Structure 1
Amino acid sequence: MSTQTVLIVDDDREAALVISHALAAPNREVRVLTSAEDVVAQAAVSPVDLVITEAVFASGVSGLDIVRACKAAVPVTRVLVVSGNGSLDDAVDALRAGAFDYLAKSGDVDTLRATVERALRPPTSRPTPAHGPTRAPTMIGRSPSMLQLYKQVSQAAPGSAPVLILGESGTGKELVARALHAHGPRVDRPFLSLNCAGMTDLHLESALFGHVRGAFPTAVNDRVGLFEAARTGTLFLDNITEMSAAMQAQLLRVLQEREVRPMGGQEAVGVDVRVLAAACGDAEADVTAHGFRLDLFFRLAVFLIRVPPLRERRQDIPLLVEHFSGAASARAGRMVTISNGAIARLRQLDWPGNVRELENVIERLVASARHPVIEAADIVLDAGASTSPGTHPFSDMPTLDELERRYLVYALQRFAGNRTRTAAALGIDRRTLYRMSARLGVPITGAEIHGANVG
């Protein structure tokens, strides 16, 4: 087997040596170079299979410069960009310039090794998008999970295949959808969105597929549906799991046949639309557990993108606070800043409402600020809005029975002792609820509920 050559380019020689030792393997030569300016010359003189480059150098040279130079000099050379301070635009630009991959500098050696193994396999053809990079909605964050998200967006954006975006409420799923549109070939075409939650089948079918006059009693005029209105553009369907089974079947048919039939109409209309969908959850099981059709899930999840919750990227909170406080100050007509102590306090919180909750808190703090600097003592949140990581009901490692008891107490208090609603929330019937309360010693009547201890 011939020897494969890996060139590591980093102006921090110690960091580069650590990586070189981690990547050492039989039939592999790993070199270290601390000068970004010399990388192309060395690659041209002595063949290199893979270049691993830092994203930003002290000299001002960027990883993007190295990608472009290597591809211009020796097109078959694969380049891996590793960044500790990247953005969505950086990831898109690097991948579109021909980078093999774009990784976060997270210290995850296993991920780096796996990516290097993939890069050193025989190259396969990859289509190069003809559409240049465009300005997308602002996505803020430099954490490893956000850099991974940027990479996924940059990989999915150039095509027209459906994308399913998963994430908790408030994480920014629509922002991801708009970024996919803005970085894709349909950027100059319409981007239309619809929140499927709370809509009846009649209204949802009319909104998506349109109707003709007389299709139903209130249809006094023809209406063009969103699939037609978004022709050659992008249609974003939020809360897709809120669709009924009947509407899921209709949507699946449209995605398969690429045509819609307006309500009451006789003629089918061909559609050319990229469909992006979003749902609350982290994985396939979370989505399908709500009765979502598995065949529709796979039809939509050609690309599956997970948006991380804020608690998984606390290091991005200072950047988000700076952005939100600046925007809120502009709206308030006065400059208000957040002290380091206040930011440290915000980083300690759990943020169940994610980025949306943080934005609302910053807006309120700025609007109500009596001084130009907000301190940690000024941060007083509504009870239950955000909790410290240490206040989880399982932080003291209770037994499963104890955890079950606490959850039952919480549910009963949450629904003010209403046993029917409590049983429904727990996914059990009332008889099972009674047996559960007896087994765990939890009262299910009146004042005893409110006096029970959750933890």
Structure 2
Amino acid sequence: EMERISAKTICEFSEKSHRKLVRFGQQNRNAELKLTKFGTTEPFKVNEILATARRALEQNFEKDTIQLKHFTSGAMVGSSPKMIELYKEIARVAPTRSTVLILGESGTGKELVARAIHQNSPRADASFVAVNCGALSESLLEAELFGHTKGSFTGANADRRGLWEEADGGTLFLDEIGETSPAMQVKLLRALQEGEIRRVGSTGNRRVDARIIAATNQNLEAEVKTGNFREDLFYRLSVIALCVPPLRERPTDIPVLVEKFLHRAQENTGKENLRFSADALKILSVYEWKGNVRELEAAVEYAPLRARGSEILAEDLPVKLLSDEFKQAASRFNLSQLYADLPSLDELEKRYLIYVLKKSGGNRTKAAEILGVDRRTLYRMAVRFKIELE
């Protein structure tokens, strides 16, 4: 019996090559199908479609590789699958003018993502201006963002341009956008829609070309449903949405982050050749880190201050990491299995990929779910590490 292939499978393969399949259901490989191609109807064999689709997938893979080749992650650190996915998303959206909404828990590094977008954009040589919307009252935030005229309020002794104007030609980062008041949301929406701002106390508008990137640790969709955040502003901000993974979802990045923060701690303390003991590193690796990277950084900065020598022991870590519960969890975590022979980060990732594939019985879908990536990314990882997928 002839091998059969579903219409859905061919559609998925053909989507990237800009060909649309027209009503054919289940077909065998030798059957001829009709495709709509640039407005004309032509007969094709399934084998021809699959060959074209494979070439399209290879081109997409090469395109992603080229994007990352010229991508700079700035101060972002990590080579876990979820971070690689994030880098790819940043590389794709950076060249555009679209607004971006960055979602993630506190301490995950949302501003670093915003800066990476700016640094990889055509606006990289212009200003990157950041403002924390949750740190200012409504009136102060309005004056900070839009500027003010002389005499517009007590203390306004001269005209002053706001942060929006300072970001002209560059990028304006609105952190904690979910903390803004309803009245402020209206003003932000108007500025986004019109590309113009009005200084406090002025009657005229000023056109400003600034790319807007916003961030929040809140669930804005839920806030929209409860009426706390304007739906029209939400859709205006979230033309592109990026999710920054919490640290607990990328534990393989912890050793690299620890090394980075430890190097900085050496400069602050004046101590040389600092290193964590195996027990201390185990605890750092299994702790939940609800405060994410920011909390990890604070712990790594604290520990050298208590250490008596160059080796940082488990007892030198913050007290909250030394509970019996975490000590027991750390004792069960055999860290040496991961990098006892000090492999490179690529080798560490390759080993984990092989381990997951074995655990999933070679099931690509299940393996992708465990890794937290899609099947295309799993395929790219396998190609990069020269692993044959069954």
| Structure-2-length-normalised TM-score | 0.66
Q: Which amino acid aligns with 1:147?
A: I
SS at structure 2 position matched to 1:176 = helix
The size of the alignment, in residue pairs, is: 287
* 1:180 partnered with 2:180: no
Are 1:164 and 1:301, in contact at CA under 8 Å, matched by a contact in 2?
yes
SS at structure 1 position matched to 2:173 = strand
CA distance in 2, matches of 1:312, 1:328: 25
Are 2:223 and 2:229, in contact at CA under 8 Å, matched by a contact in 1?
no
Question: Match for residue 272 of structure 1?
Answer: 209
Residue 170 (structure 1) aligned to one of 107, 110, 132: 107
Question: Match for residue 40 of structure 2?
Answer: none
Deviation by residue 1:150-209 (Cα, 9 ceiling, x = unmatched): 111111111111100111111100000000000011000000010011312211111111
1:264–1:282 CA distance, 2 compared to 1 (3 A):
closer
Residue 199 (structure 1) aligned to one of 136, 143, 146: 136
1:296–1:376 CA distance, 2 compared to 1 (3 A):
same
CA distance in 1, matches of 2:61, 2:29: 20
Question: Match for residue 359 of structure 1?
Answer: 297
Q: Which amino acid aligns with 2:138?
A: D
CA distance in 2, matches of 1:194, 1:241: 13
Q: Which structure 2 residues correspond to residues 2-401 of structure 1 after superposition, within 5 A? A: 27=29, 49-50=53-54, 78-80=59-61, 94-95=66-67, 133=70, 135-281=72-218, 284-285=221-222, 289=226, 291-333=228-270, 334-382=272-320, 388=326
Are 2:71 and 2:91, in contact at CA under 8 Å, matched by a contact in 1?
no
Deviation (angstroms), 1:268: 0.7
1:239–1:297 CA distance, 2 compared to 1 (3 A):
same
1:288–1:354 CA distance, 2 compared to 1 (3 A):
farther
Q: Which amino acid aligns with 2:81?
A: P
1:196–1:288 CA distance, 2 compared to 1 (3 A):
farther
Are 1:241 and 1:287, in contact at CA under 8 Å, matched by a contact in 2?
no
Deviation (angstroms), 1:269: 0.5
Are 1:280 and 1:287, in contact at CA under 8 Å, matched by a contact in 2?
no
CA distance in 2, matches of 1:282, 1:182: 27
CA distance in 1, matches of 2:81, 2:72: 22
Deviation by residue 1:90-140 (Cα, 9 ceiling, x = unmatched): x9763367xxxxxxxxxxxxxxxxxxxxxxxxxxxxxxxxxxx46442211
1:255–1:373 CA distance, 2 compared to 1 (3 A):
same
SS at structure 1 position matched to 2:257 = helix
Q: Which amino acid aligns with 2:59?
A: R
Q: Which amino acid aligns with 1:302?
A: V
1:260–1:390 CA distance, 2 compared to 1 (3 A):
farther
SS at structure 2 position matched to 1:170 = coil
Are 1:211 and 1:219, in contact at CA under 8 Å, matched by a contact in 2?
yes
SS at structure 1 position matched to 2:96 = coil
| Structure-1-length-normalised TM-score | 0.57
Q: Which amino acid aligns with 1:166?
A: L
Are 1:92 and 1:150, in contact at CA under 8 Å, matched by a contact in 2?
no
Q: Which amino acid aligns with 2:106?
A: S
1:319–1:261 CA distance, 2 compared to 1 (3 A):
same
CA distance in 2, matches of 1:288, 1:364: 42
1:303–1:27 CA distance, 2 compared to 1 (3 A):
farther
CA distance in 2, matches of 1:161, 1:204: 23
SS at structure 2 position matched to 1:275 = strand
RMSD: 3.3
CA distance in 1, matches of 2:77, 2:138: 36
CA distance in 2, matches of 1:202, 1:190: 24
Structure 1's unaligned 5+ residue stretches are 5-24, 29-46, 52-74, 82-90, 98-132, 392-455
CA distance in 1, matches of 2:98, 2:155: 35
Q: Which amino acid aligns with 1:160?
A: R
SS at structure 1 position matched to 2:212 = strand
Deviation (angstroms), 1:143: 1.6
What fraction of aligned residue pairs are identical, expressed as a percent?
42
Q: Which amino acid aligns with 2:309?
A: H
CA distance in 2, matches of 1:178, 1:236: 9
1:136–1:317 CA distance, 2 compared to 1 (3 A):
closer
CA distance in 1, matches of 2:147, 2:303: 44
Q: Which amino acid aligns with 1:349?
A: Y
CA distance in 2, matches of 1:139, 1:27: 47
Question: Match for residue 68 of structure 1?
Answer: none
1:276–1:357 CA distance, 2 compared to 1 (3 A):
same
Structure 2's unaligned 5+ residue stretches are 11-26, 31-50, 330-390
CA distance in 2, matches of 1:322, 1:290: 44
Are 1:234 and 1:276, in contact at CA under 8 Å, matched by a contact in 2?
yes
SS at structure 2 position matched to 1:50 = helix
Deviation (angstroms), 1:229: 1.1
SS at structure 1 position matched to 2:61 = strand
1:259–1:319 CA distance, 2 compared to 1 (3 A):
same
1:282–1:347 CA distance, 2 compared to 1 (3 A):
farther
Deviation (angstroms), 1:388: 5.0
Deviation (angstroms), 1:251: 0.3
